Structure 1
Amino acid sequence: MSDTVSSPLYAAIDLGSNSFHMLVVRHIEGSVQTMAKIKRKVRLANGLDQNNYLSQEAMQRGWDCLSLFAERLQDIPAGNIRIVGTAALRSATNVDVFVKKANQILGHPVDIISGEEEAATIYKGVAHTSGGLGHRLVVDIGGASTELIIGREFEAKALVSLSMGCVTWLDNYFHDRQLTHTNFENAILAAKATLSPILERYTELGWDVCVGASGTVQALQEIMLAQGMDEIITLAKLKRLQKQAMMASHLEELEIEGLTLERALVFPSGLSILIAIFESLHIDSMTLAGGALREGLVYEMIGEMRQSNIRQRTITSVQQRYQVDRQYGAQVAQVAKQLLEQCGHQDWIPEAQAEFLLQSAAELHEIGLSIDFKKGGQHGAYLLQNLDLPGFTLAQKHFLAELVRRYRDQLSSLPEQHALSGQSCKRLLRLLRLSVLLTHRRSAHLQPEFELQAEGDQLTLKMDAQWLQHNPLTQAELEIEANRQSDIGWPLTLSSL
């Protein structure tokens, strides 16, 4: 490869029990940019007999897939490639036969990693790509194993790999392809029995947020969004989807709005395992992680990416890519924070994540100017909605996009949001718009003294009358803004300090 220094490519290949995945990324300007994601259903776990002997047919499916992957590896430096095998290959008694030929096909060694190493790498992938304060519980349901990890920031406190997965549970508990209450109950009870040895330790450690890093969780989120629900997974929603699944008598007849044909076969078994995890660990809610095993492998190879503040790294990278004025973004963020504090942050907007979402919107609000000024807010919303933003959930991305869409000029109410309460979303938008107006001279030395008072939704902005007299444009814009907010039922009054 000719330019491995300025824009190196990295590849991570995960030889999973259900699917083989290849992730190709480019490390550029402090961020990881996805270049390709290739996935093939191989179902290695289906090829294991009762003695864990991997069938010739299953191995051939795997080798055929690796022949496709090998083409993409030719242009990537050997030191930037990592290939790992997981549960099915760990348990296969004839794994050496598969690995020998796999090494020849790929031209690079396959590393069969332990369950503990798999769990640790999954956690690194989650830590580098997902937000969340405090301790997090990570759940990854694979084809033949399920990993559960508790950690904080980049350090795993507890990790385990359990011998249950959506392919093995399909074979064991839905082998007759019947979606009966009995089959579901047996699958759930078996998963609970598998979980029982870790319950005491995990419950004692505890966690603040729970994230799922598997195809099962991604499929669930896609179904919920397709059916008009938000992205937060709860036990009630899992039970609702179980009832929907049981409306089909046979697995081949399973049709749920939002469920792809690709995931349908292993969906009931994955759902059963997740229900067992929710009930056994008394999980309130779960969101989808931004990455898992493959991302963990990539970040392990890119040593300089080991930073604690994932969100700030993401914001800085986006600012660089889209030539956003970072100094001005920081000024707007500082004013927004000051306004929030003056309103009585904890009482006025109680959610802990509100401040960083306001700061993020302030730092990125001009991203759309890289395309066009006239529709800057609209372009910025599109970019934020569609960019990969490690550290932000899907709901948070959507909220940031809608804030940025409305940061200036005409004002409209926000659509339904799931990142914060509707009231908090509205209040953050008001603060962002005021922050942009108060800083329009783009210098902290030239911005006015101000004081914002809040009584519910009634805002009173106090400013020095003499300053306003010398800055008539700002005064006119603030008066227009007061009218705009008041016209849609958000009263804003201007007065003198």
Structure 2
Amino acid sequence: MAQELLATVLVNPALTADQSPHQDIYAVIDLGSNSFHMLMVKVVGGSVQVIGRVKRKVRLAAGLNENLVLSRKAMKRGWECLALFAERLQDIPPQNIRIVGTATLRLAKNVKTFLKEAEAILGQKVTVISGEDEARIIYLGVAHTSNSDTNRLVIDIGGASTEVVIGAGFNPLLLSSLNMGCVTYLERYFADDELSEDNFSRAIAAAEQEVLTIASQYQHTGWQMAVGASGTVQAMQEILVAQGKDEVITLSRLEDIMQQALACGRMEQLTITGLAQERKQVFPSGLAILIALFRCLNITGMTLSGGALREGVLYSMLPQLQHTDVRSRTVNSLMVRYFIDQRHAERVAEMAAELANQLQSRWDLNKFEGHSMLKCSALLHELGLLIEYKNHHHHGAYIINHSDLPGFTRAQQQLVMALVHNHRADISREIIARQTMTSVLLTVRLTRILRLAVILSMRRRHEVLPQVTISSKGEQLVLTMPAGWLEQHPLMRAELEQEVQYQQQAGWELLIK
């Protein structure tokens, strides 16, 4: 079987993996119960750059019978997928490749048959990880791609198991792997393709029984934020955004989505605005499991994580990137990659922080990590200069909007984009108004502070920075300069007078004294 499948894989006999020049390229393959995934990255400027993602629906769990024997048909689907992956792996050093199997391969009694053929196809060892290890690795993947020092709840709904973790920083505190997944529940509760109240009720009740085994311990430990790291959570978020809502998943919103599914009647008629075609088959079962988790754990809101199992495995191969501040690592990588003047960027960030601290007592800038977002925006405000000067604020915003930014939620990424776009010249109220999860008022306040910090630092020298004071009365800002300073710096005076006009056109009052 392996030889037959590999006949289609192009092999260059002149270059073996051991001779590969791709020492900075890494690959992770996740043999999941629903899909097989391959992630390929390159380490660039102290951060990882995704250079390839391949995903195939294999639905391995659907081939697992009541005696936990994996069917030959399901195995063949897996082997055919791995033959496709093998072509991309041939030039990567073997030590830079990791392949892990999850719930279905843990359960299958004839797993050795599958693994023998899989390893022959890939030329690599496959490691089947335990449920607890899977939960731990998922948490590390979340920790390495999102920033949080407080307790967070992480949930990953897979094809045959669901991992639930509470952790802080890079340390998981509670780990659980529950025997429920979107493929196994599809086969068990939606096999008749009916989107009925009875099917949903049975699936939710079964999932609640699983979750209740851990509920009291998790609620006792507690968490400040909840994130989902699975396709099910991504699907829910895409539906919410497509239907004009923000990105926060709540129980009432999930129940509303369930009502939309019930109205469709049957699986082949399932049409919900924002639901991708590839997610439809396992959507009802994943939705039922997520509703049960929200109900039993009293989850008030959930957002989508930027990483999970594959990212956790990946970062375990990159010790130089482990246990560092994720957000700082991302910002530093962008500064290196786009040749930002680091000393000037830090100068602007320090000036912005000084202005923000003076305004903090009247303007609450702590919400949504406002001070941190202001600092990141200041450090990245010249991101677009590598392209050209005139519209560099637009170019910088475009780069931020279309980049992977580990350590930032999508809403935080949008906030930084809005600040960089508006740090100079005309102010786009439209971009500010698009903020979905952060408040428009906070975005306006941070924008005004950043613009002043950029102007006050325009000489690009520490010794000429003015000692200014800033105060607010409602939304009116008063910037007070040292006596005689404006007369001695006519260009700066002209820039500040122009800024008064820019802010006035946006509907904001700024006074310079």
TM > 0.5: yes
Question: Structure 1 residue 169: deviation in Å?
Answer: 0.8
Q: Give the aligned partner of residue 249 of structure 1.
A: 265
Q: Is residue 2:96 matched to residue 1:84?
A: no
The answer on whether the counterparts of 1:153 and 1:308 sit within 8 Å (CA) in structure 2 is no
Q: Give the aligned partner of residue 249 of structure 2.
A: 233
Give the letter aligned to residue 247 of structure 1.
A
The answer on whether the counterparts of 1:225 and 1:231 sit within 8 Å (CA) in structure 2 is yes
Give the letter aligned to residue 443 of structure 2.
C
The answer on whether the counterparts of 1:17 and 1:45 sit within 8 Å (CA) in structure 2 is yes
Q: Give the aligned partner of residue 474 of structure 1.
A: 492
Q: Give the aligned partner of residue 276 of structure 1.
A: 292
Question: What is the CA–CA distance in structure 2 between the aligned matches of 1:2 and 1:165, rounded to whole Å?
Answer: 39
Q: Is residue 2:465 matched to residue 1:447?
A: yes
Question: Structure 1 residue 416: deviation in Å?
Answer: 2.6
Aligned-partner SS, 2:274: coil
Question: Structure 1 residue 406: deviation in Å?
Answer: 1.0
The answer on whether the counterparts of 1:224 and 1:231 sit within 8 Å (CA) in structure 2 is yes
Question: Structure 1 residue 3: deviation in Å?
Answer: 8.4
Instruction: String of CA shifts for 1:66-95, please: whole Å, max 9, x gaps.
Output: 111111111111111110110001000100
1:20-39 equivalent positions in 2, closer than 5 A: 20-39=36-55
Question: What is the CA–CA distance in structure 2 between the aligned matches of 1:423 and 1:476, rounded to whole Å?
Answer: 27
Give the letter aligned to residue 289 of structure 2.
I
- The runs of 5 or more residues in structure 2 that have no matched partner are 1-16
The answer on whether the counterparts of 1:7 and 1:26 sit within 8 Å (CA) in structure 2 is no
Question: What is the CA–CA distance in structure 1 between the aligned matches of 2:53 and 2:353, rounded to whole Å?
Answer: 39
Q: Give the aligned partner of residue 173 of structure 1.
A: 189
1:230-379 equivalent positions in 2, closer than 5 A: 230-344=246-360, 347-351=363-367, 353-379=369-395
Q: 1:2 to 1:27 in 2, by over 3 A?
A: farther
Give the letter aligned to residue 145 of structure 1.
S
Give the letter aligned to residue 436 of structure 2.
H
Q: 1:157 to 1:182 in 2, by over 3 A?
A: same
Aligned-partner SS, 1:465: coil
Q: Give the aligned partner of residue 195 of structure 1.
A: 211
Question: What is the CA–CA distance in structure 2 between the aligned matches of 1:292 and 1:478, rounded to whole Å?
Answer: 47
Q: Give the aligned partner of residue 407 of structure 2.
A: 391
Q: Give the aligned partner of residue 462 of structure 1.
A: 480
Aligned-partner SS, 2:367: coil
Question: What is the CA–CA distance in structure 2 between the aligned matches of 1:263 and 1:370, rounded to whole Å?
Answer: 40
Question: What is the CA–CA distance in structure 2 between the aligned matches of 1:346 and 1:459, rounded to whole Å?
Answer: 11
Q: Give the aligned partner of residue 164 of structure 2.
A: 148
Q: Is residue 2:455 matched to residue 1:437?
A: yes
Q: Is residue 2:110 matched to residue 1:110?
A: no
The answer on whether the counterparts of 1:149 and 1:158 sit within 8 Å (CA) in structure 2 is yes
Instruction: String of CA shifts for 1:101-137, please: whole Å, max 9, x gaps.
Output: 1111100001111000111110111000012341111
Aligned-partner SS, 1:64: helix
Q: 1:452 to 1:2 in 2, by over 3 A?
A: farther
Question: Structure 1 residue 432: deviation in Å?
Answer: 0.5
Question: What is the CA–CA distance in structure 2 between the aligned matches of 1:346 and 1:199, rounded to whole Å?
Answer: 41
Q: Give the aligned partner of residue 207 of structure 1.
A: 223
Question: Structure 1 residue 299: deviation in Å?
Answer: 0.2
Aligned-partner SS, 2:486: helix
Question: Structure 1 residue 296: deviation in Å?
Answer: 0.6
- The runs of 5 or more residues in structure 1 that have no matched partner are none
Question: What is the CA–CA distance in structure 2 between the aligned matches of 1:261 and 1:188, rounded to whole Å?
Answer: 23
Q: Is residue 2:419 matched to residue 1:407?
A: no
Question: What is the CA–CA distance in structure 2 between the aligned matches of 1:394 and 1:178, rounded to whole Å?
Answer: 35
Q: 1:4 to 1:301 in 2, by over 3 A?
A: farther
Aligned-partner SS, 1:490: coil
Give the letter aligned to residue 435 of structure 2.
Q
Q: 1:7 to 1:432 in 2, by over 3 A?
A: farther
Q: Give the aligned partner of residue 423 of structure 1.
A: 441
Question: What is the CA–CA distance in structure 1 between the aligned matches of 2:480 and 2:74, rounded to whole Å?
Answer: 72
Instruction: String of CA shifts for 1:284-343, please: whole Å, max 9, x gaps.
Output: 111111110001111001111113310000000011111111111111111111111101
The answer on whether the counterparts of 1:7 and 1:27 sit within 8 Å (CA) in structure 2 is no
Segments of 4+ moved more than 4 angstroms: 1-7
Instruction: String of CA shifts for 1:132-177, please: whole Å, max 9, x gaps.
Output: 3411110000000000011111110011111100001111111111
